[in-house]
Structure 1
Amino acid sequence: MAEIIEDFLVKKDQGYYCAYGDFYIDPLYPVQQAVVSHAHGDHASPGHQAIYCTEATAAFMQIRYAKQALSSYQVKDFEQKFHLNGVDILFYPAGHILGSAQILMIYQGVRYLYTGDYKLQEDNTCEPIKIVEADVLITETTFADPNVKHPDPKEEILKLAVASNIMLGCYSLGKAQRITALLNQYLPEKEILVHHSMLAFHRIYDKFNEVPMKYELYNRKSMKGDEKNKVYLIPPLTFNSYRRAKNVLRVFASGWARLQASNDLSLYLSDHVDWEDILTFVKQVKPRAIWTLHGDGRQLHAHLSDDLIIRDIFTQTYRPDFC
């Protein structure tokens, strides 16, 4: 059995660095070679010389980072093998948002699987997660807490069946499109109005998905009439600035309880795995070791330490010569 290299992937100031292939995963600052799991701003950033990602991720990044050279995008299909300095790399669907990828790295016979953000719940707006076995599972732990259980999305979206108009805060990429599709499916009588910052992302989703969503661009007159059953999707900063909005129910879509406290309705919709999902995923991946990141992994460490080698990913101090 091939030996696991303990520092194969380490956390650095710029992002997660693989010295053996001389590339970064989800770097936050400009690097020569960036392998990007998905297009959320805490994983995808501009300024890199080369960006390896899926087609949808490149499309989203081109909207957000218009000055990034188009020639820098090295688009790869899911399960298309490519090589960076002796490391074989493949993307597999992560189920987080459209185009999101798990990143499988194979080096000297050992399989290292970086999950990025991922979910197991059904979501018709993005590619369903694909299970891949690996020797080392490098997993996010955003909701790695036994007390966290994400509810059924259908039950949550049906809370919005009230006849009132609703001002719904949500992230512009991924969450907004999932909510639009859920409303289309379960509450088709609702008129969906989207903030201008979401429109381009909705259109990319329509391009990639077989069933286009039903929505309209919000305008100032949209929610000032007497008509009800309207849902206005707005990004978090706008939601927070509309504290005094009248004649609407305030709702914010999130898996975090703290973001539900001051709203008129709770809407627990998360695009991450919860505790049981993580445990299910670990059983399916069958790793020999687990490295955790993106959250507090202490409860997962305690739960699995009798059966697996589990620890946080190593952190390495910044060294300019590695750039």
Structure 2
Amino acid sequence: MILDDFIVIDKTGLFCRYGDFYLDPKEAVKNAVISHAHGDHAIGGNVNVYCTEATSLFMLHRYKKFAAGEFNIKKYNSAFEVNGVKITFVPAGHILGSAMVLMEYQGVKYLYTGDYKLQPDKTCEPIEFVEADVLITETTFADPATQHPNAEEEISKLNTTTTNIMLGAYSLGKCQRLISLINDHCIEKRILLHHSMVPFVKIYEQMGVSLGKYEVYDRKVMKNNLTGMIYMVPPMVFRSYFKAINVIRVFATGWKHLQNNHEIQLYISDHADWNDIILTIQKVNPQQVWTNHGNGLQLKNYYEKSLVVKLLN
């Protein structure tokens, strides 16, 4: 029997009282099961952290000695227990080390997706589907009007200009995917990385992921080469240099409102769009869908007559 209160939301996040742990807590807790290392899912200071190896390395870089009291590193598809709840990490395809969390309790399977994507991405483990009785899915882009374009075609837009480009991107996941895509599809371009992005790139390489060519940003290099350069920077730097000259400003994201006033609009997202969410539901074949991280109302309406959809947030 599905337990309606197996996962509940409180001010700290998604709590499983049957196993006394949180999924991606927003505040430090005793037991944290972390799906991936983005800052809105993985904070420092938790006592016991259960995660993949890559996630632990990213957290150690970001939070240093405050990353966790103890890391319990788990491999994909290898079950372990937390206070009587059986847990298995399944590749989520979002960034390197990202995992969906399959929880089994009293014969019922609950699958928490964290963030996930179905688009191919050479820089992280591809998503794997498992069946579950309850799917707890993110709904960041759960809107029928949202359909992410092909990333390979999008990145090729950068070939339409020879002018230098300031490319805004998240430092973890998006940065590494873009480096790989640019090396594959914009071979005439030369990539310069903001220094803050380099440690995350090095962890990817440490984990055996080959991204291709890049250089650490050098002002002289950028100044002496007025064409063919892509200077990749994190969002905060991108926003602070809004008056940058001799560059085209481009920001890689699935959000339309973040593309405003950019000469080139680069719709590359690391989340599932509407069609991907529908396909995931088909693959998981749940009895119920619980939504999180976004607005699940359109999903609820879509399945009104065929599937129980509960909005957790």
Measure how far apart 1:187 and its partner are. 1.1
Measure how far apart 1:209 and its partner are. 3.1
Give the partner amino acid of 1:24: Y
Alignment partner, residue 140 of structure 1 = 138
Alignment partner, residue 155 of structure 1 = 153
Q: CA separation in 2, counterparts of 1:147 and 1:230?
A: 34
Alignment partner, residue 298 of structure 1 = 297
Q: CA separation in 2, counterparts of 1:201 and 1:279?
A: 32
Where does the alignment leave 5 or more consecutive residues of structure 2 unmatched? none
Measure how far apart 1:213 and its partner are. 2.4
When residues 130 and 286 of structure 1 are mapped into structure 2, their CA distance, relative to the original with a 3 A threshold, is same
Q: How does 1:145-294 map to 2 (within 5 A)?
A: 145-161=143-159, 162-294=161-293
For 1:67, what is the secondary structure of its paired residue?
A: helix
Measure how far apart 1:70 and its partner are. 6.3
Alignment partner, residue 98 of structure 1 = 96
Measure how far apart 1:71 and its partner are. 5.5
For 2:184, what is the secondary structure of its paired residue?
A: helix
For 1:16, what is the secondary structure of its paired residue?
A: strand
Length-normalised TM-score, structure 2: 0.98
Contact conserved, 1:250 with 1:263, CA < 8 A, in 2?
A: yes
Alignment partner, residue 26 of structure 2 = 28
Length-normalised TM-score, structure 1: 0.95
Q: CA separation in 2, counterparts of 1:41 and 1:71?
A: 18
Alignment partner, residue 125 of structure 2 = 127
When residues 145 and 70 of structure 1 are mapped into structure 2, their CA distance, relative to the original with a 3 A threshold, is closer
Q: CA separation in 1, counterparts of 2:225 and 2:99?
A: 44
Q: Tell me the number of residue pairs that the alignment of Structure 1 and Structure 2 aligns.
A: 312
When residues 194 and 132 of structure 1 are mapped into structure 2, their CA distance, relative to the original with a 3 A threshold, is same
For 2:265, what is the secondary structure of its paired residue?
A: strand
Alignment partner, residue 88 of structure 1 = 86
Alignment partner, residue 38 of structure 1 = 36
Q: Deviations over 1:59-83 (max 9, x none)?
A: 0000000022665111000011110
Contact conserved, 1:290 with 1:309, CA < 8 A, in 2?
A: yes
Where does the alignment leave 5 or more consecutive residues of structure 1 unmatched? 316-323
Q: Deviations over 1:252-272 (max 9, x none)?
A: 000000000121210000000
Give the partner amino acid of 1:114: Y
**2:25 is equivalent to residue 18 of structure 1:** no
Measure how far apart 1:136 and its partner are. 0.1
For 2:144, what is the secondary structure of its paired residue?
A: coil
